[in-house]
Amino acid sequence: MNCFNIQSINNTATGQAFAASKPISDTIETLGNIGCQNMGEIDSLPNVFGNRVILPHTLRTYFKHVKNGDRIFVQYPLYISYPAFWQVIHYLRVTKKCKLTFIIHDINSLRIDPAVGMGGMGHTNNATRSLKNELRILKFASEILVPTNAMRDFLRNTNKLSANITVFGLYEHLSSSKEMPVFKKKKTMIFAGNLNKAEFLTKLNQSEFHYEIYGNKPSTFSLPLNLDYRGSYPSEELASHFSGGFGLVWDGSSIEGISGVMGNYLRYNSPFKASMFLASGVPVVVWKQAAIADFVERNNLGLIVNSLKEAEVAIQGLSDAKYNDLVTNVRSFGLKLRKGVQFTDAVQHTLTSDRT
């Protein structure tokens, strides 16, 4: 049995298209290390009816090296039209009789927000209809890998899937370097990522706490002048600009807890920024009801709070000894993320199950 990987390009909320993001490229590298061949991006396959449908000949040609019974890892979701997505998965599972393992990066039905360009599956902003479309695709899975217990439970509770669902934990953040800076305590929270999803930043205009902000300036609002905006950098370079403090894992429109679609999505997903901070040696601040909160608290990797005001007070009162203890734990766990330990174990478990 051979092993292959497929993925697509993701269009951001600003309409810009980027090649495989860091989470996807890292999973591709890990799969390559255990013998899976990367088939590359499939965005060019839809070629009729406004690039919404794939010609049968195109499917056969593209997957000509895939044999019956091979294993296909799918970086989910594929950002092609829903009909084309369904065609690819149906062809691989039914015609080629492949075993499909979906690596879930996002469940789009849980984060539909037209205001920031986040749509559902099947060209719809209706969450119920979108979920039905997603489940029609996920039903073809033999195994599903998800980052959190909450996302696993959500999929199980649909009562529509028969696949084995494995939790792999926080996303890996691969790096060949074992060098990690040792930070001293600093009364700072760092926020980095898609600023269009971070409307809560506008509510910090009266805060006297130091916030460092990284990312492209938002197109939907203006950043308050009291925030320390540091610009936008490639993910592999970003961590070199950090000088200590805490990495803020927050989303939505409120600083008094979490609100809005993107904020509520924290109940299910594992934000890649959490992995980035931890792999950089920076403790994190996480909302108490976030899917990753229990893991962060249990492993003493940061602060679990209900609001940003609570976080500010906690950081201001934190002793040097407590911060150093957090940093020690973060550095140890961060090295595991750099090696991809958790995700590799989950993938190998999936492959081993084929032989048992």
Angle (nearest 5°) at CA 313 between 311 and 316: 105
* Pair 263, 245: CB distance under 8 Å: no
Pick from 194, 198, 207: which is nearest to 311 by CA? 207
Question: Is 182 inside any structural domain?
Answer: no
- Give pLDDT, residue 15: 39
If asked whether residues 216 and 85 sit together in one domain, one would say: no
Question: Is 113 inside any structural domain?
Answer: yes
| SS3 (DSSP) at 46 | coil
If asked whether residues 278 and 346 sit together in one domain, one would say: no
- Give pLDDT, residue 169: 94
The Cα–Cα gap between 289 and 87 comes to 37
If asked whether residues 210 and 159 sit together in one domain, one would say: no
Question: Is 180 inside any structural domain?
Answer: no
If asked whether residues 251 and 266 sit together in one domain, one would say: yes
The Cα–Cα gap between 70 and 298 comes to 39
If asked whether residues 121 and 254 sit together in one domain, one would say: no
The Cα–Cα gap between 231 and 247 comes to 16
| Residue in the structure block whose two tokens are 């899976």 | 36
Q: Residue 221 has which token pair?
A: 């609002």
| 185-227 confidence digits (pLDDT tens) | 899 999 998 898 899 999 999 999 999 999 999 988 999 999 9
- Give pLDDT, residue 350: 84
- pTM, rounded to two decimals: 0.92
CATH number for the domain that contains residue 314: 3.40.50.2000
If asked whether residues 92 and 241 sit together in one domain, one would say: no
The Cα–Cα gap between 243 and 115 comes to 33
If asked whether residues 313 and 193 sit together in one domain, one would say: yes
pLDDT digit string (tens) for the chain, length 356 residues: 899 999 997 544 343 434 348 899 999 999 999 999 999 899 999 999 999 999 999 999 999 999 999 999 999 999 999 999 999 999 999 999 999 999 999 999 999 988 777 889 998 999 999 999 999 999 999 999 999 999 999 999 999 999 999 999 999 999 888 788 888 889 999 999 889 889 999 999 999 999 999 999 998 899 999 999 999 998 778 888 998 999 999 998 899 988 888 889 999 999 999 999 999 999 999 999 999 999 999 999 999 999 999 999 999 999 999 999 999 999 999 999 999 999 999 998 888 766 54
Question: Is 207 inside any structural domain?
Answer: yes
| SS3 (DSSP) at 150 | helix
- Which residue range forms the structural domain that includes residue 315? 188-338
If asked whether residues 28 and 144 sit together in one domain, one would say: yes
Domains of the chain: total: 2
* Pair 136, 90: CB distance under 8 Å: no
The Cα–Cα gap between 272 and 275 comes to 5
What stretch of H or E contains 213?
strand 210-214
